[in-house]
Amino acid sequence: MKEQVEKIKKEIDTYKAESQEKLEEYRLRFISKKGKLSTLFNELKNVPSEGKREMGQVLNELKNSAKAKFQQLIENLEEKENSFGTSSIDLTLPSSYYTLGSAHPITSTRNRIVSIFEKLGFNVSEGPEIEDDWHNFTALNFPPNHPAREMQDTFFIEKEPDITLRTHTSSVQVRVMENQKPPIRTLSPGRVFRNEAISARAHCVFHQVEGLYVDKNVSFVDLKQTLYYFAQEMFGKDTKIRYRPSYFPFTEPSAEIDISCNICKGDGCNICKYSGWVEIAGSGMVDPNVLANCNIDPEEYTGFAFGMGIERITMLKYQINDLRLFTENDIRFLKQFRTVSS
């Protein structure tokens, strides 16, 4: 029996419990009612009476140390489960790779344009994308059935000939003039819609930023200088600017604005079609009829307005040659703008 005790003692001493299952196994094997220790105690009755006392003591010691060991195993296991070093987290593994999102190039260009004009005191106004005829056309001096309406291939809402998807954000400017008193200096960035076939150069949904400045004594010089400042901030200090006479129903006189091609620096390339100039915006002095339509006295106030396509500015700035890239959401394209901030 002594031998048996020694054997069990060794087993207990060397037992390791790395899991709850192992711990339970220890309990069942040694200290439960059916465990090895109970069996030994049962055998005590067979020990001759002169050795019984001594053997009793040995068994009691074994029982105590088995219980102490059980306690120890519980504590070790708890410690192991709570500590980072030995649990399932391996601090030596390389960390997981988190990709940071980034602003879409149209968004960053929009923000850049807004921040340039903000320095000149322009605020931002927004308006609905579904517009009525008055705000998109009539107030802007497009008479009914005037061919100028054909300039913008309009989406009409079925059965509601008076409701359109806005073709430009000039409609927001009408809303601002109707609701605010001059001086007004506002930008209206937003989505616009035109019924055009999708190609590398055109899309049926695109973005514009339009600007409006109405106050006493606003002149064409203010318009020129404002857009010159913008062009230099956006495309670099050596950017030149030129005005070409044009026509818009809501401005008189009207001009299209070109900048010197920032790609070939004026030498001629396929982006500027070898002219050295690229168009960036339409502009002009607000037609007195438009001011009057919005209850602003054209005898007292004058104003200028301009409008540009955000896609176009982005394409020129980053030399992108296909407009469709902006809406395809190809991660290889978008990733290239990760560091562009507003």
Binding site for ligand PHE (CB under 6 A): 168, 170, 210, 248, 251, 282-284, 305-307
Nearer to ligand PHE, 37 or 283 (CB): 283
Q: Are 198 and 166 in contact (CB under 8 A)?
A: no
Q: Are 305 and 250 in contact (CB under 8 A)?
A: yes
DSSP states of 262-304: TTTTTS--TTTTTSSEEEEEEEEEEPHHHHHHTT--TTT-EEE
Nearer to ligand PHE, 30 or 213 (CB): 213
**Backbone phi and psi for residue 254, each to the nearest 5 degrees, phi listed first:** -120, 150
Closest approach, Cβ 169 to ligand PHE, in A, equals: 7
Quote the CA–CA distance of 290 and 210 in Å, as a whole number.
15
Closest approach, Cβ 172 to ligand PHE, in A, equals: 11
> Residue 40: which of 71, 17, 9 has the closest Cα?
9
Quote the CA–CA distance of 99 and 27 in Å, as a whole number.
49
Closest approach, Cβ 336 to ligand PHE, in A, equals: 28
Nearer to ligand PHE, 168 or 203 (CB): 168
Closest approach, Cβ 210 to ligand PHE, in A, equals: 5
Closest approach, Cβ 244 to ligand PHE, in A, equals: 13
Nearer to ligand PHE, 11 or 129 (CB): 129
Quote the CA–CA distance of 140 and 221 in Å, as a whole number.
23
Nearer to ligand PHE, 40 or 287 (CB): 287
Nearest residue to the partner ligand PHE, using Cβ: 307
